[in-house]
């Protein structure tokens, strides 16, 4: 692959840096050099030059928690509480999934994410070989885990076998994918099984994604002390939600270096509340941000999450306790730290994973350099995303997806959706017309 030189852009190196003018040189999948005063492209005879005048380049946005294939269930059960949503609507429909439906639903989700400036997504679901194929086809970086729950020994063994099959096929694939473990939650996986997952994950050095304290009723079914005994806190644990964590739990998360993924839209929509993010940051917990699945959000838009997070935390604490740099850090460097990857900064040696904003859009005015970071969090919205690069390749550019054929995806997604809904409803009420 030729080197790429992105010229004449405004850039933000990371959350604590001001906006500055610079050129960025990319080689293969990495950032090779950043030139704050620009560089004469003649020095790079072999580099492709991309004029980025009028654009703002930032580190790619990191979605630390999702279930990509749940795009199939978007708009179903919008007005239900968490238990009705999960047990009466999601779980029965998930029984009807297959490799094909999961692949096209994942493709659709990842296209949406790419178009909204996301360059990495962490995922937990089923049919993970199909999900990995979708990540690779769209060009999205990710950490994928097979969701694990315990019903009986046979089912548990099958799910662990599927985890290992995906691990063996896709861990490290194209320098794009990582495969980890995904015990769904402590209320669906007994403690002795969590201990088994913890020991496997430690042996492989793999990450673990798990829902923890998403809803108030979970506090009656397990404690942090139960979890600690399983060894799960001693893995590379990414804990989704932690809405119900108290101060004692927050101190444990900090002491054990557990990453928390805050999913503000999903938590608000399912009536689970607002996580104590400011208290977590004060205790130096590594907090990141995620969309969760499209069935509980319903969009896959980290910029939207950042704004809702900032607003809901201002409401829970006080407006002065929520800083723009903290919000940006959660979507950039904290995500890189959580997954142990060179992501979330524009620096030599980091992945060439970038988001490009068009700052000629109305919501980016006034074009005062001091205010561009504020515009990203509070004003811009994902419609200002001009391009998204992962591993040095454009996966979204000016309204198009250069690596895939879009029309096929919509058609096959819609076919899967109709099959699942008709089967779930036991008749043919959905024609798709």
Whichever of 90 and 306 has its CB closer to Zn ion, that residue is: 90
Minimum Å gap between C-beta 273 and Zn ion is 15
Q: What are phi and psi of 144, to 5 degrees?
A: -115, 135
Whichever of 222 and 378 has its CB closer to Zn ion, that residue is: 222
Residue 361 and residue 363: Cα distance in Å, rounded? Answer: 6
Contacts of 276 (CB under 8 A, 6+ apart): 245, 250, 316
Whichever of 71 and 355 has its CB closer to Zn ion, that residue is: 71
Length of the chain equals: 433
Segment holding 113, helix H or strand E: helix 99-115
Minimum Å gap between C-beta 240 and Zn ion is 5
Structure tokens at 181: 């473990």
Contacts of 408 (CB under 8 A, 6+ apart): none
Minimum Å gap between C-beta 209 and Zn ion is 9
* Nearest alpha-carbon partner for 139 in 215, 231, 29: 29
Q: Is 292 in the site for Zn ion (CB under 5 A)?
A: yes
Minimum Å gap between C-beta 44 and Zn ion is 44
Whichever of 209 and 384 has its CB closer to Zn ion, that residue is: 209
* Nearest alpha-carbon partner for 407 in 40, 33, 107: 107
* Distance (Å) of CA 9 to CA 145, 177, 283: 36, 29, 36
Minimum Å gap between C-beta 173 and Zn ion is 23
Which residue number is nearest to Zn ion in terms of Cβ?
292
* Nearest alpha-carbon partner for 266 in 241, 246, 242: 241
Residues 249-288: x/- map of binding to Zn ion (CB under 5 A)? ----------------------------------------
Minimum Å gap between C-beta 329 and Zn ion is 22
The stretch near Zn ion (CB under 5 A) out of 1-9, 146-154, 291-299, 373-381 is 291-299
Q: Is 23 in the site for Zn ion (CB under 5 A)?
A: no
Structure tokens at 218: 């979970």
Minimum Å gap between C-beta 292 and Zn ion is 5
* Distance (Å) of CA 217 to CA 82, 137, 262, 272: 10, 39, 19, 10
Residues 324 to 363 in contact with Zn ion, rule: CB under 5 A: none
Q: Is the dihedral of CA 321, 324, 329, 335 positive or negative?
A: positive
Whichever of 292 and 305 has its CB closer to Zn ion, that residue is: 292
* Distance (Å) of CA 44 to CA 4, 27, 109, 432: 9, 11, 37, 52
Whichever of 292 and 333 has its CB closer to Zn ion, that residue is: 292
Whichever of 227 and 322 has its CB closer to Zn ion, that residue is: 227
Whichever of 292 and 353 has its CB closer to Zn ion, that residue is: 292
Minimum Å gap between C-beta 142 and Zn ion is 15
The stretch near Zn ion (CB under 5 A) out of 198-206, 224-232, 290-298, 313-321 is 290-298
Segment holding 209, helix H or strand E: strand 207-212
For the packed helices 191-204 and 153-170, what is the interaxial angle rounded to 10 degrees? 20
Minimum Å gap between C-beta 307 and Zn ion is 20
* Nearest alpha-carbon partner for 261 in 120, 138, 129, 376: 120
How many residues form the binding site for Zn ion (CB under 5 A)?
A: 1
Residue 67 and residue 124: Cα distance in Å, rounded? Answer: 5
Minimum Å gap between C-beta 121 and Zn ion is 12
Structure tokens at 390: 């992962």
Residue 293 and residue 373: Cα distance in Å, rounded? Answer: 27
Whichever of 23 and 292 has its CB closer to Zn ion, that residue is: 292
Whichever of 261 and 372 has its CB closer to Zn ion, that residue is: 261
**Contact residues: Zn ion, CB under 5 A:** 292
């Amino acid at each position: 692959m030729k080197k790429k030189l992105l010229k004449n852009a405004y850039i933000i190196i990371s959350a604590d840096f001001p906006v500055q003018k610079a050129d960025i040189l990319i080689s293969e999948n990495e950032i090779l050099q950043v030139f704050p005063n620009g560089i004469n492209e003649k020095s790079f005879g072999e580099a492709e030059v991309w004029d980025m005048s009028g654009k703002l380049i930032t580190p790619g946005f990191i979605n630390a928690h999702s279930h990509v294939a749940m795009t199939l269930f978007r708009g179903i059960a919008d007005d239900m509480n968490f238990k009705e949503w999960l047990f009466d609507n999601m779980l029965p429909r998930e029984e009807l999934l297959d490799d094909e439906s999961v692949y096209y639903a994942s493709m659709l989700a990842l296209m949406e994410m790419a178009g909204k400036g996301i360059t990495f997504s962490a995922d937990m679901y089923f049919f993970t070989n199909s999900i990995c194929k979708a990540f690779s086809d769209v060009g999205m970086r990710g950490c994928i885990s097979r969701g694990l729950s315990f019903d009986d020994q046979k089912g548990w063994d099958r799910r662990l076998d599927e985890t290992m099959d995906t691990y063996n096929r896709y861990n490290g694939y194209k320098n794009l994918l990582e495969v980890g473990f995904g015990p769904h939650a402590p209320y669906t996986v007994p403690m002795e099984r969590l201990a088994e997952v913890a020991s496997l994950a430690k042996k492989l050095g793999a990450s673990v994604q798990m829902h923890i304290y998403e809803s108030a009723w979970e506090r009656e079914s397990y404690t942090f002390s139960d979890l600690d005994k399983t060894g799960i806190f001693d893995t590379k644990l990414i804990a989704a939600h932690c809405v119900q964590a108290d101060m004692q739990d927050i101190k444990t998360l900090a002491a054990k270096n557990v990453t928390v993924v805050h999913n503000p839209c999903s938590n608000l929509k399912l009536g689970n509340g607002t996580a104590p993010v400011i208290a977590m940051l004060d205790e130096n917990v590594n907090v990141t941000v995620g969309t969760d699945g499209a069935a509980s959000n319903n969009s896959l838009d980290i910029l939207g999450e950042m704004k809702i997070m900032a607003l809901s935390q201002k409401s829970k604490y006080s407006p002065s306790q929520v800083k723009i740099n903290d919000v940006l850090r959660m979507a950039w460097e904290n995500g890189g730290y959580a997954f142990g990857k060179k992501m979330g900064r524009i620096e030599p040696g980091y992945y060439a994973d970038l988001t490009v904003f068009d700052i000629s859009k109305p919501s980016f005015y006034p074009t005062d350099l001091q205010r561009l970071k504020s515009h990203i969090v509070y004003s811009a919205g994902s419609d200002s995303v001009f391009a998204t690069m992962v591993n040095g390749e454009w996966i979204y550019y000016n309204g198009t997806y250069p690596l895939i054929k879009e029309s096929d995806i919509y058609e096959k997604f819609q076919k899967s959706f109709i099959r699942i809904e008709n089967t779930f409803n036991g008749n043919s009420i959905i024609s798709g017309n």
